[in-house]
Amino acid sequence: MDVAAIKRLLAKRRVWSATAALACTLPVLAAVLPEDRADALYHSYDGGGVEINGPSVLVRKQLTKSSSISGNYYVDSITSASIDVVTTASPYTEERTEASASVDYLHEYSTMSLAYTNSEENDFSAKSAHFSFSQELFGNLTTLSMGYSRGWDVVRERGRADFEEDVDRQHYRLGVSQILTKTWLLDLGFEAITDEGFLNNPYRRYRYLTGDSNEPVGWEKEVYPRTRTSSAVAIRSMLYLPYRASVHGEYRFFTDTWGIDAHTAEIGYTHPYKTKWIFDFKYRYYTQTAADFYNDLFPSRRPQNYLARDKELSNFSNQTIGVGISYIFTPTRWRFVKKGSVNLSFDRLLFDYQDFRDARVTDVTPGDEPLYSFSANVVQLYLSIWY
């Protein structure tokens, strides 16, 4: 799992906890701006030879009754000795910083948002702009939404001052949310993404048979297509239970022009206890097919135009078991604070690869190494303050 994928996982885990808590207040009655709120987060990922940890701070503030702004600062300290790194290179340590700002505008039952994000590390820069619009209809029971994001990435390579490649990304989103009953919410979503430019990792290599008995395996840099188009459809549902708890589920199908098809299924349960505690539980299953140009071991040095051995493009599956706990409190000494919450979440991830082998094992015939698998732990601790 690469750094970008881990970042998406950490972000999704925090959104999941917040959404689960909101489920206890269904139904939604009208379009509203985000509440004035500050979050301080510490996150940690440890698995597969990769360690990522660091803080994040988010602040939201209403300017008027119809507008609000927010800012986020995010830091990752990354230490990688993953199987990809130790097979063909040396372990490394680096830091990534990300800053973002957004503005929201509310007009009657319409909400518009603009955001900008900048992420920097020593060999990669990413800038992106985001726009989203939502409209509530039919007595606020139906919400239509759409969004567009544009990203500009710059890929570099440590040790090569002359290497610099661009990536252009576009992301389109459509969605509809429907309150079916007082206790049942249904959400449908569609996404389309186009990527163009240098889309592979400059450090990653594929392996091939050389035909030389003294050195049977050779390594060369991967070669990817310079374009990729992907799309996804998702259905999500949330049901409020009579005793203030809720259950939610999701199914998502993803496909792209590289030949990858992926399925995701998730189910979760949220249970409030008295007035101050919220407990979350979830299970997620993900599976995907391999890219058309992926192979764990190619038969020769250049058997085709595109060649990849990235395990994230292979045929694999993973399972996630997650738990979370939140404590809501009302400070008595801080008059400017309306309420606060302390939140702790833990995810256990299990990865199984069906056609990616552990090339660190060298005492067997190439291609007969054991299939690779690993587990990872994700921990998030954050404090939220409403003011």
Q: What is the pLDDT of residues 322-349, one digit of tens each?
A: 999 999 999 877 778 999 999 999 999 9
- d(Cα 255, Cα 170) in Å, to the nearest integer? 16
**pLDDT tens digits, one per residue of 166-177:** 999 999 999 999
Q: Is residue 69 a part of any domain in this protein?
A: no
Contact predicate 45/33, CB 8 Å: no
Q: For residue 17, what pLDDT is reported?
A: 43
Q: Is residue 55 a part of any domain in this protein?
A: no
Question: Is residue 152 over pLDDT 80?
Answer: yes
For tokens 């949220």, what's the residue? 270
Q: Is residue 71 a part of any domain in this protein?
A: no
**pLDDT tens digits, one per residue of 216-253:** 999 999 999 999 999 999 999 999 998 889 999 999 99
| Number of Cβ within a 10 Å radius of residue 25 | 11
- d(Cα 109, Cα 103) in Å, to the nearest integer? 17
What count of Cα atoms within 13 Å lies in the side-chain half-sphere of residue 326?
24
* Mean pLDDT of the 134-145 span: 94
Q: Is residue 310 a part of any domain in this protein?
A: yes
Question: Is residue 185 over pLDDT 80?
Answer: yes
Q: How confident is the model at residue 28 (pLDDT cuts 50, 70, 90)?
A: very low
Q: What is the CATH number of the domain that holds 174?
A: 2.40.160
Q: For residue 344, what pLDDT is reported?
A: 98
Looking at the chain, the whole-number percentage of residues with pLDDT higher than 70 is: 92
Residue 225 belongs to what domain range? 3-30+103-386
Strand (E) positions, 257-363?
A: 261-273, 277-288, 316-329, 339-357
Burial 67-77 (b: 16+ CB within 10 A, else e): ebebebebebe
What's the predicted TM-score (pTM) here? Answer: 0.90
**pLDDT tens digits, one per residue of 88-109:** 777 889 999 999 999 999 999 9
Q: Is residue 178 a part of any domain in this protein?
A: yes
- d(Cα 20, Cα 31) in Å, to the nearest integer? 19
Question: Is residue 59 over pLDDT 60?
Answer: yes
Burial 289-301 (b: 16+ CB within 10 A, else e): bbbebbbbbbeee
Domain count, the chain: 1
Q: Is residue 201 a part of any domain in this protein?
A: yes
Q: Is residue 42 a part of any domain in this protein?
A: no
Mean pLDDT in the chain? Answer: 91
* Mean pLDDT of the 77-91 span: 86
Contact predicate 284/193, CB 8 Å: no
Question: Is residue 19 over pLDDT 50?
Answer: no
Q: For residue 14, what pLDDT is reported?
A: 45
Q: How confident is the model at residue 22 (pLDDT cuts 50, 70, 90)?
A: very low
- d(Cα 162, Cα 95) in Å, to the nearest integer? 22
Q: For residue 9, what pLDDT is reported?
A: 52
Q: Is residue 215 a part of any domain in this protein?
A: yes
